[in-house]
Structure 1
Amino acid sequence: MLVCAVVRPFGWPEAVVAVPAAGLLVALGAVTPAHAATEAARLGPVIGFLAAVLVLAQLCADEGLFEACGAWMARTAAGRSRRMLAQVFVVAAVTTAVLSLDATVVLLTPVVFATATRLGARPKPHVYACAHLSNSASLLLPVSNLTNLLAFTAAGLSFTRFTALMALPWLVAVGIEYVVLRRFFAADLDAGATEPDAGPPPALPLFALVTVACTLGGFVLTSALGINPAWAATAGAFVLAVRALVRRHTTPRAIVRSAALPFLAFVLGLGIVVRAVVDNGMATALAHLVPAGTALPALLGVAALAALLANVINNLPATLVLVPLAAPAGPGAVLAVLLGVNIGPNLTYAGSLATLLWRRIVGEHGAEVELGEFTRLGLLTVPAALVASVVALWGGLQLIGV
């Protein structure tokens, strides 16, 4: 399934292999129908939330949100590549945290590439920043990443407590990424850029910004009331969808397409396949490797194991496997798993689906991504960011508690 997700033979969507694979394992008895149904019921709300966020992000793009971000970066960079890199970090980190990593990869990366090209800057540092932050900047909110959503319920934390505990690790990880990328791509950044052409900036899409802000408030409110945050995301997407349909800026078909239904089917199929693997011995084998407790050495061990597994079998299956094993140790261990599966994928192409998608998008713009360069950058960022963020998480657990 993962190989087909990477290669996509004949341009097929991931679900073409995932759904039959899940059905085959059920038919062969590798996973019982009851366990498959349980897994589907567990993933159902998560998949619904992901669909709503994807629609919300696409409608924000249709409103001109990302175009406005690109224009802001072009105007304020003033011909300085290093300043633009800092701006990309701010925009990408916020976009990933609020609208999920898919928005950063699919919607922001092409804007960043076009903006850097228009300014005569070398785009490599800026598009690499989008790739790395689509993973490591997805630590902040339960809604920032599908892995976070999968772990959110298991952790048993409120929306605000989750965010409070992950805020410092998020800042630390993003900060280390910035320092390393700024130094790693020093030659590209020193090449400079040119002043943008003068012209009226695009109008700021206030309606989209207000809707996103209200949706974030809805996440906090629904969490406090014990309601699935998917309802808040659906409400935000509904408001923007109605506006876009009335103004004839989109069509019902385009809205449905933005929900990425084949990808959602892939996630469901992957969950059932992973459940079959877990039921047939992986859980038993990994249970002996998961450190017990929430002391700093244990949290470091859990995060390292999660990062390693993410690069071997992808971060989504790694989350599905490790979260149930870490949950008995408490929320701290579950959050350490998230640090591993969100930061670790920056080490290899196969670490996350977001990285695979980013590589495809960059290739469509005529830029080459060298495996050696990608890996060297990952070796410089992942260990440092992972250790520092785990220490930050441990400190937050001591100060804030769970």
Structure 2
Amino acid sequence: MPALDLVPAAALLALLVTAYLHPRGRVEAAVGLTAAAATLATGILGWADVRDTLEHLGPVVLFLVTILVVADVCGRAGLFTAAASRVRDAAHGRPVRLFTGVFLLAAAVTTVLSLDATVVLLTPVVVGVAVSTSTSYRPGAHACLRMANSASLLLPVSNLTNLLAMPHLDLTFGGFALTMAPVLAVVLVVEYVALRLLFRRDLAAPPGPVSEGEHPPLPVVPLLAVGLMLAGFAVGSPFGIEPFWFSGAAALALAWWGQRRGLLGARDAVAAAHPAFALFVLCLGIVVAALGTGFLGEWVADVLPTGTGFADLLLVAVLATLLANVLTNLSATLLLVPLLGSLGDTAVLAALLGLNIGSGLSYTGSLANLLWRRSMVRLGHPPPLRELHRVSLLVTPVSLVSAVAVLSLVV
């Protein structure tokens, strides 16, 4: 490794440690700015490179901060609680029915509102529903974690990795969804069957008490705002309109509505947007761009295949999985996807399979995994490390290979 490359490598390590520790926003922003400044001081990146990186990341970060506000208002309005209560009532106390409903609900929330909403907002509701029906919370909690990563394949907006890859794809919003729909369908089947088998003892418990009474109503305004936002994504994509315009409009409308209803104030809306994390992501992009021009980018480029057959796509997906679990999937996307441009859309989509499904292999694969663990600790149910990896090591490889096989057939 050239001596000059040690600086961005050390900067990336500092950023990853900060992400895992998840300190207060000011600390997060300070570390990000320091890491970016140290990287820029090496001269590895020119100002044109920095400008290109920020222009590429800017729309993605704007989408991130606005969709977080949308999800936060939906949570404050009781959308997740109302949806989970309907799943609970439909289950009639039966653990398998409850698990099936939670699994599908987690997949839907991830697809529409991104994976952070699933791990931060939905998981506590799911655990609470399980406890209230005297059934095991473990299957539902793990369904939320698995779906936060594996169900983020369908839409470009389901995961930041997808949005970062879109400029490298010759696909519209609808084209991406149509291509990935059969892949997601197979992944959902594989993951559902696998979780049913792994948690069969929990799901074989006798039915819990059936709750009676009215369940909370579904909030109409948030549902309508989310529906219009999704429609905007689909309609605007062929015209090159970035998703953040529609998520931004939805965020402003819901923040105003929530303030009128007394659900949140201006400070709450700003806090929900997590501006310090947005700055952190921009700084991370600069550091990874520097590494991509150095030894790490050269090594990855040497390992990549030259074709797009099944074995080639599987190699890309496995490489993406390894990079995601070493660097986190966000960093791995910034490094890997630009190097796949010459191989076309199929190779980029294969990388997304590793960056999304593969990031569920360990806690280090995705920041969502760490957020899920923190949610479980706050709820008083810290997940054993052994159990997490028992599930991930058994499910992730099967799900990933199945997804690559389907992708190689449909593209």
Q: With structure 1 as the length reference, what TM-score do the two structures score?
A: 0.95
Which segment drifts farther, 192-201 or 16-25? 192-201
Q: What residue in structure 1 maps to residue 170 of structure 2?
A: 156
For residue 128 of structure 1, the aligned residue among 142, 145, 149 is 142
SS of 2:293's partner is helix
CA-CA distance at 1:182 after TM superposition: 0.8
Give the secondary structure class of the aligned counterpart of 2:211: coil
The CA deviation at 1:293 is 2.5
**Offset of 1:10 from its aligned partner?**
7.6
Q: Which amino acid aligns with 2:369?
A: T
Is the aligned partner of 1:320 residue 2:325? no
Q: Does the CA-based 8 Å contact 1:118-1:196 persist in structure 2?
A: no
1:347 is aligned to 361
Q: CA RMSD in A?
A: 1.5
After TM superposition, the structure 1 stretch with the greater mean CA deviation from structure 2, 193-202 or 177-186, is 193-202
- Of the three residues 392, 398, 407, the one matched with 1:378 is 392
Cα deviation code 1:84-129 (max 9, x no counterpart)? 1100111000100010001101110110011111111111111111
Offset, 1:33? 3.2
Q: Is 1:255 equivalent to 2:276 in the alignment?
A: no
2:286 corresponds to 1:245: no
Q: CA deviation at 1:176?
A: 0.9
1:81 counterpart residue number:
95
Give the superposition deviation at 1:193: 4.4
SS at match of 1:222: helix
Unmatched 5+ stretches in structure 1:
398-402
Q: Is residue 228 from structure 1 mapped to residue 228 from structure 2 by the alignment?
A: no
Aligned counterparts, 1:214-225, within 5 A: 214-225=228-239
Match of 1:64 among 73, 78, 85: 78
Q: Distance in 2 between matches of 1:14 and 1:370?
A: 27
Do structure 1's residue 396 and structure 2's residue 400 form an aligned pair?
no
Structure 1 residues 375-384 or 185-194, which shifts more? 185-194
In structure 1, give the amino acid aligned to 2:332: A
Q: Which residue identity does 1:292 align to in structure 2? A: T
2:26 touches 2:276 (CA, 8 Å); kept in 1?
A: no
Partner of 2:205: 191
What is residue 202 of structure 1 aligned with on the other side?
Answer: 216
Q: Please, which of 208, 211, 227 is the counterpart of residue 213 of structure 1? A: 227
Residue in structure 2 matched with residue 90 of structure 1 by the alignment: 104
- What whole-Å deviation, never above 9, does each CA across 1:226-275 have from its counterpart, x for those lacking one? 21121111122222222222233221111111111111111111111111
Given that residues 361 and 389 in structure 2 are in contact (C-alpha distance below 8 angstroms), is that contact kept between their aligned partners in structure 1? yes
1:277 aligns with 2:314: no
Deviation, structure 1 residue 14: 3.3
Runs ≥4 residues deviating over 6 A: none
Determine if contact 1:13/1:263 at 8 Å carries over to the other structure.
no
Q: Which residue of 1 aligns with 2:133?
A: 119
SS at match of 1:249: coil
The TM-score, its normalising length taken from structure 2, stands at 0.93
Post-superposition shift, 1:13?
5.1
Distance 2:172 2:247 in 1: 17
Quote the residue 1:101 is aligned against: 115
Cα shift readout 1:363-387 (whole Å, capped 9, x = no counterpart): 1111122222211211211111111
Q: Distance in 1 between matches of 2:20 and 2:334?
A: 19
**Structure 2 CA distance, aligned partners of 1:255 and 1:193?**
41
- The amino acid of 2:101's aligned partner reads Q
Counterpart Cα distance in 2 of 1:296 and 1:13:
44
Structure 2 CA distance for aligned equivalents of residues 221 and 192 of structure 1: 48
Distance 1:174 1:7 in 2: 31
Query: In the aligned structure 2, how far is the partner of 1:311 from the partner of 1:15?
Result: 23
